[in-house]
């Protein structure tokens, strides 16, 4: 071979901690890396969906009528100057798809169709022939077909409507055919570059050692992000080599335990292995309630006064009782979960406590807010 948030917070934390991987675990190489030059490429196009039962774009969408006029001109249909095509059975859409690595001319890919105007539903519509372009503005695929919509929209004569899911977006399985291939240097480069999904120096070294034990001195690394591996020149041998390479088992490096908090959803994830130093925390709650009401002042009979409405506001403040709790030095995840469960703390309370512990240097890990 020649080489070249439905659960309670505490319960959710417990479940997520149970799913966490050990600090150092063996994984298949294909789960740890991606191959440089072997990746998906996004495609996008602009098109028309026809055959809608009155649920298409309205006349308020000017570019919709212009698109219909331009399409008719391509088929030799002439319209008077300045005329607008008024058809509620047509909707302007954006068509997107993913060009998988290695696909050849003639193969089919799925496409997603999304309304661009004010159409109410794409159900029952057909996408007309649409060019799909890549970032270089070259056409790589042609899409056409019946749109499959999972949503539903129903409107009554009174204007009442019911919408289920998203009726303005759908898919066409195998709706686009590849017309032009995307070139890749995977089969021509003397070496293959493996990019780590989560850069880590220890993991990179473990990959090099595992590959060299199996295939000889063919792997090298220059940083925590990538590993270069010499590969056979023969295409068939290279494919077989990559299949064996991806199946290797590699020990994952020990990473810094993290606490991840999503500030938008309130989700808190604590990785296995996280420890805290000895710390005492007091966290009180401040509750402010403002209620508005209106008082009506009615004048006496035959009086010259006028009826007036006077707004009244009531503000109440509840300081709440602060709770103090203490974590012993080296406390593990289960200790944190037990404390959270006993206090019934909300995600915001948890985040405030974690930030305070991090500022105090009590968390033996990394706090990440997303």
> Where residue 150 falls among pLDDT bands split at 50, 70, 90?
confident
Q: Where are the domains positioned within the chain? A: 24-38+188-251, 41-178, 258-369
Asked whether the beta carbons of 95 and 69 are under 8 A apart, the reply is no
Banded pLDDT at 291 (limits 50, 70, 90): low
pLDDT tier, 65 (very low <50, low <70, confident <90, very high otherwise): confident
Distance CA 213, CA 8 (A): 47
Mean pLDDT computed over 324-352: 67
Summarised one tens digit per residue, pLDDT across range 313-324 is 555 545 555 566
**Does 24-38+188-251 carry CATH code 3.10.510?**
no
pLDDT of residue 307: 72
Structure confidence by residue, pLDDT tens digits, 126-144: 999 999 999 999 999 999 9
Asked if the model's pLDDT at residue 22 lies above 60, the reply is: no
Beta bridge partners of residue 145, listed in sequence order:
127
Mean pLDDT of the chain: 79
Q: How many CB atoms lie under 10 A from the CB of residue 194?
A: 25
The pTM of the full predicted model, rounded to 2 decimals, is 0.69
Nearest to 168 by CA among 142, 147, 145, 187: 147
19 pLDDT higher than 50: no
- Confidence band of 69 (pLDDT split at 50, 70, 90): confident
């Amino acid at each position: 071979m020649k080489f070249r948030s439905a659960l309670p917070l505490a319960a959710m934390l417990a479940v997520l901690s149970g799913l966490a991987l050990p600090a150092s675990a063996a994984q298949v190489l294909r789960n740890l890396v991606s191959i440089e030059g072997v990746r998906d490429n996004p495609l996008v196009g602009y098109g028309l969906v026809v055959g809608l039962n009155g649920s298409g774009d309205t006349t308020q969408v000017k570019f919709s009528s212009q698109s219909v006029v331009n399409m008719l001109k391509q088929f030799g249909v002439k319209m008077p100057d300045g005329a607008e095509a008024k058809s509620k059975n047509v909707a302007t859409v954006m068509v997107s798809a993913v060009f998988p690595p290695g696909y050849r001319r003639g193969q089919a890919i799925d496409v997603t169709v999304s309304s661009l105007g004010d159409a109410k539903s794409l159900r029952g519509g057909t996408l007309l022939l649409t060019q799909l372009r890549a970032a270089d503005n070259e056409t790589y695929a042609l899409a056409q077909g019946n749109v499959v919509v999972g949503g539903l929209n129903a409107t009554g004569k009174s204007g009442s409507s019911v919408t289920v899911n998203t009726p303005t977006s759908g898919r066409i399985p195998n709706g686009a055919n590849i017309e032009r291939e995307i070139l890749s240097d995977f089969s021509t480069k003397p070496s293959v570059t493996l990019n780590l999904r989560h850069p880590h120096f220890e993991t990179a070294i473990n990959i090099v050692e595992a590959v060299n034990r199996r295939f000889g001195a063919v792997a090298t690394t220059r940083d925590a992000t990538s590993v270069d591996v010499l590969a056979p020149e023969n295409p068939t041998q290279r494919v077989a080599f990559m299949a064996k390479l991806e199946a290797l088992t590699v020990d994952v490096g020990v990473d810094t335990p993290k606490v991840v908090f999503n500030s938008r959803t309130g989700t808190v994830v604590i990785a296995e292995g996280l420890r805290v130093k000895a710390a005492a925390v007091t966290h009180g709650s401040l509750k402010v309630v403002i209620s508005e009401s209106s008082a009506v002042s009615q004048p006496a009979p035959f009086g010259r006064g006028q009826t007036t409405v006077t707004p009244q506001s009531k503000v109440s403040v509840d300081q709440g009782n602060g709770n103090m709790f203490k974590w012993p030095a080296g406390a593990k995840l289960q200790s944190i979960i037990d404390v959270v469960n006993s206090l019934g703390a909300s995600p915001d309370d948890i985040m405030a406590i974690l930030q305070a512990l991090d500022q105090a240097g009590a968390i033996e890990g990394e706090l990440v807010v997303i």
